[in-house]
Structure 1
Amino acid sequence: MEREPWVVGVSGASGTPYAAAVIRGLLGAGEAVDVVVSRAARLTILDETGISFRDAHWQEDLREWLESPLDRGKPEPFELDDVRYWTAGDFAAGPSSGSYPAKGMLVVPCSAAAVAGIAIGLSKDLLQRAANVTLKERRPLVLCVREAPLSGVTLRQLAELDGEGAVIIPASPGFYAGSASVQQLVDFVAGRVLDSVKVKHRLYRRWEGELGPK
């Protein structure tokens, strides 16, 4: 059976815990995952978690990152057997080609700079190139935007990408799910990302509606 992964691109915006939660959710659902971490994202991971994400030691660094939720114990066990890591400067990587069998791509978090590069087809690194490939192949592309406030330029670019078929998900957690911790708010956003590509998960409690008066 041919391997068909989800490509997860991590840009340099603040919010790398969202990416970790999405990757954990995909692995928990038994999905194959390809990871692309931009150069700016490695600096953000270091700033937000204290973890130095190194290309040469990506497996141990990725495991440490995924095993470090914000304010609770270790998550459910996961395996990295079906995870591939591609360096941001590798334009010969699998996700750079439309013939590479990927299910789609999730950019989490997605910076305004990444939005711009994807919108104009800049392909300055593998993350942007893989996103452009996802669009041209008409595969699902989800951009979890973490930027505030949004400029008019970015809003117009997001509207253009929506017109191209991308799903735009602001990193806006919902509080109705009974979230009592920062990690639960992170998991809510990660869960909405996975919902948009129909990957089953148990990251948050779903709204079931309120019963009216008897």
Structure 2
Amino acid sequence: MEQVDVHSHSHSRRQRVPWVVGVSGASGTPYAAAVLRGLLDAGESVDLVVSRSSRLTLLDETGIAFRDAHWRDDLGAWLARGADGKPDTFARERAPDLADVRYWAAGDLAAGPSSGSYPVKGMLIVPASTACVAGVALGLSKDLLQRAASVTLKERRRLVVAVRETPLNGQTLKHLVTLDEAGAVVLPASPAFYAGATHIQDLADFVAGRVLDAAGVPHRLYRRWEGELGGSRER
């Protein structure tokens, strides 16, 4: 009988340590798509959680009806769209390999990311609705997205919350302060214009790049500010 190296098998199973990407119901699915492309281009593994409300937003912004049973096909179609929600040749050409993406249904509270013993590098919530922000700040864990975020905080892992709302009311600001105090990175989805954006995709990529910066993931999604020789200008 062939002998199985249990220790070698266990070690190989431990090699996959993904980033959890949570997509909530706020407008801004192009940000999520750009983050997913950036992570996969960097060779990172991804565990994806798409909330129920975000499916409606995704349908509005891209025309894609995201389904649990066909998630890989739907995700591929999503990542092949530009920031305007339409099929895009450039986006399709740079659509990444989805072999190392694992999808968990939002209602599956027994999923891997619901436990602190499940190894992950951290979690990125892109975009984060104010309802999602409140749920995570209050520890409600009403679905897998919120539960995974709570686990990320309690395990002292990196949590980046790309909140997408304007204006912000006082209660949401308090929730964001709570998340900041708990160790999360609060990152408003605020595109910058100094990077020479010429297309709406450039603006989405800038926000995605800042999310990846906060996670410590290398990328080339936007042109970085390097200052100017011979003095500075008012900005």
TM range (shorter): over 0.9
Cα deviation, 1:73-113, whole Å, max 9, x if unaligned, reads 33324111100000000001000000000000000000000
Answering whether residue 37 of structure 2 is matched by residue 24 of structure 1, we say yes
Q: TM-score, normalised by structure 2?
A: 0.89
Cα separation, 2, equivalents of 1:195 and 1:73? 27
1:186 paired residue number: 204
**Which segment drifts farther, 71-80 or 109-118?**
71-80
2:113/2:148 contact within 8 Å kept: yes
1:87 paired residue number: 105
Answering whether residue 227 of structure 2 is matched by residue 209 of structure 1, we say yes
1:172 paired residue number: 190
2:57 paired residue number: 44
Cα separation, 2, equivalents of 1:161 and 1:78? 32
Alignment gaps of 5+ in structure 1: none
Secondary structure in 2 matching 1:74: helix
Secondary structure in 1 matching 2:228: coil
Answering whether residue 96 of structure 2 is matched by residue 78 of structure 1, we say yes
- Alignment RMSD (CA, Å): 0.9
Answering whether residue 181 of structure 2 is matched by residue 163 of structure 1, we say yes
Cα separation, 1, equivalents of 2:78 and 2:207? 18
The one-letter amino acid paired with 2:89 is: G
Cα deviation, 1:110-167, whole Å, max 9, x if unaligned, reads 0000000000100000000000000000000000000011010000110111011000
Answering whether residue 151 of structure 2 is matched by residue 133 of structure 1, we say yes
2:37/2:95 contact within 8 Å kept: no
Answering whether residue 153 of structure 2 is matched by residue 121 of structure 1, we say no
The one-letter amino acid paired with 1:45 is: L
Cα separation, 1, equivalents of 2:164 and 2:105? 22
Larger Rg: 2
2:76/2:95 contact within 8 Å kept: no
Which of 60, 67, 92 is residue 54 of structure 1 equivalent to? 67
Which of 87, 98, 109 is residue 116 of structure 2 equivalent to? 98
The one-letter amino acid paired with 1:133 is: V
Cα separation, 1, equivalents of 2:141 and 2:167? 25
The one-letter amino acid paired with 1:124 is: K
Equivalent residues, number: 213
Please state how far the C-alpha of 1:197 moved relative to its aligned partner: 1.0
Cα separation, 1, equivalents of 2:192 and 2:230? 22
1:64 paired residue number: 77
Secondary structure in 2 matching 1:170: coil
The one-letter amino acid paired with 1:12 is: G
